[in-house]
Structure 1
């Protein structure tokens, strides 16, 4: 009964609000990350992104909105990067994963937060942290416009994917701890073992004074490790699979996608 109701609602939405084909084609042409999807993936992602735009509010800071155009293709491109994470999941799984927020807020630039952390000796340290994005349990997803404009290629950086990965992470505890709700066919012990091995390797690189194979922000917190690995999974899959093949395989099963197969040969590193 509920499946039929969901299908009826989806069909009614598509009948009343058909995906604007030209705007979606333009959105895909602007972002390499979307340009190499299969036709079936592209249509499914387009429909989901269009529904996302109607379900969530996308707003710009007044200072940014006053002089920055953000047309329909740009809005679709933003929504598509968010929905790329759940492209391999059912509509119900997608809706449940993103039920915990209602707005994406775009700020003119990176912003600062005062952060307090306790070190291993119990000493509290306060510092100012510059951020490209931010996610909280009840508030909006916040992204900085310059970083949004730098997202969408195969560089391994994507602020939208990073912040929405935090939303997935919060799905079972509202905490950002690198341990999102897992499907029934995945073993939590395997998840913990694989991510712990990656975490330990990142720390070992830094202790040796070496650059880790992925952005060293992943070494700051287990939740950031998960989010950064999600960025690389979608926008630098060759780098992630080369550095941490077991983790890459784990994420293909979690997301039910294999972005490496989409990556054009001239993008391989």
Structure 2
């Protein structure tokens, strides 16, 4: 069976202020921004749509995906680099070329080797995935559940992986760092979080952030970023040092926005 894909891409021209305002009203993460932040992010989201491709699965061909909807997607992706300069933002997303939207969650057959050299094969159900120069793939169902302060955001999670791969072809939880954060500090704080998650799971205790973070250092970083933006109080209460570290890394303080959501 041949799959027919079609692409949704904004046309060049003047920044659509009305469409961006409509986009900001649709999701809490964008609605909570200050006027200055919203204006800056809107310009970046518009440029993002000019430079990147959004591809919808044919099953979504009749799904309303108007320009405000496209800007909602682009705005959430660009939110994570909002505190960075234009050059830093463009460089961070230089390995992003396309966003592919599938109708629902999808499965992958996975083989992993444990510490004893035993290979485990299983089927993994995913809301999104990406690779070094590959597309960012997200489920439409999960995309529609992203954008609130509920701790879940498939776009931020997958784009955090893209940041992680800014200095390697694989995710390892160690992205390029700004000058005000040393590798030792980064490793030390994330190691504390990683160890706490492993301890809680070994004792059958609930984890303060999604326990998927305990599956791999790259997922620890992505889940932490996802929680930082979409449930900042939860992260700050559970791991204040990590919240402070990510405030410096992203040059943003999401806790201050929750009042306006």
TM-score of the aligned structures, taking structure 1 as reference length: 0.91
Q: Which residue of 1 aligns with 2:208?
A: 213
Structure 1 residue aligned with 2:255: 260
2:84 alignment counterpart: 89
Provide the C-alpha distance between the structure 2 equivalents of 1:255 and 1:236, rounded to a whole number of angstroms: 15
**1:7 maps to what in 2?**
none
1:60 alignment partner in structure 2: 56
Aligned pairs, number: 250
Q: Which residue of 1 aligns with 2:8?
A: none
**Residue 149 of structure 1 corresponds to which residue in structure 2?**
144
In structure 2, C-alpha distance between the alignment counterparts of 1:101 and 1:151, rounded to whole Å: 20
Does 2:44 match 1:48?
yes
- Secondary structure at 1:264 match in 2: helix
* Residues 127-166 of structure 1 aligned to structure 2 (within 5 Å): 127-166=122-161
Large movers: runs of 4+ above 2 Å:
none
Instruction: Report SS of the residue matched to 2:63.
Output: coil
Partner of 2:245: 250
- 1:101 Cα offset (Å): 2.1
The Cα of 1:264 is off from its aligned counterpart by 1.8
Where does structure 1 lack aligned partners over 5 or more consecutive residues?
A: 1-15
Match runs of 1:58-207 below 5 Å: 58-65=54-61, 67-207=62-202
Task: Select the structure with the greater relative contact order (CA < 8 A; seq sep ≥ 6).
Answer: 2
User: How far 1:57 sits from its partner (Å)?
Assistant: 0.3
Q: For the aligned residues, what is the CA RMSD?
A: 1.0
The CA deviation at 1:207 is 0.5
Q: Please report how far the alpha carbon of residue 17 of structure 1 lies from its aligned counterpart in structure 2 after TM superposition.
A: 2.4
Describe the superposition over 1:123-173 as per-residue Cα deviations: whole angstroms up to 9, x where unpaired: 101000000000111211000000000000000100000000000000001
How far apart are residue 185 of structure 1 and its match? 1.9
2:230 to 217, 235, 246: 235
> SS of 2:156's equivalent?
helix
Name 2:9's counterpart in structure 1.
Answer: none
SS of the aligned residue for 2:258 comes to coil
Return the alpha-carbon distance in structure 2 between the equivalents of residues 196 and 87 of structure 1. 26
Structure 2 portions without partners, runs of 5+:
1-11
Secondary structure class of the residue paired with 2:47:
helix
- TM-score (ref. length: structure 2): 0.94
1:72 Cα offset (Å): 0.5
Measured in 1, the distance between the counterparts of 2:247 and 2:197 equals 21
The corresponding residue for 2:21 is 25
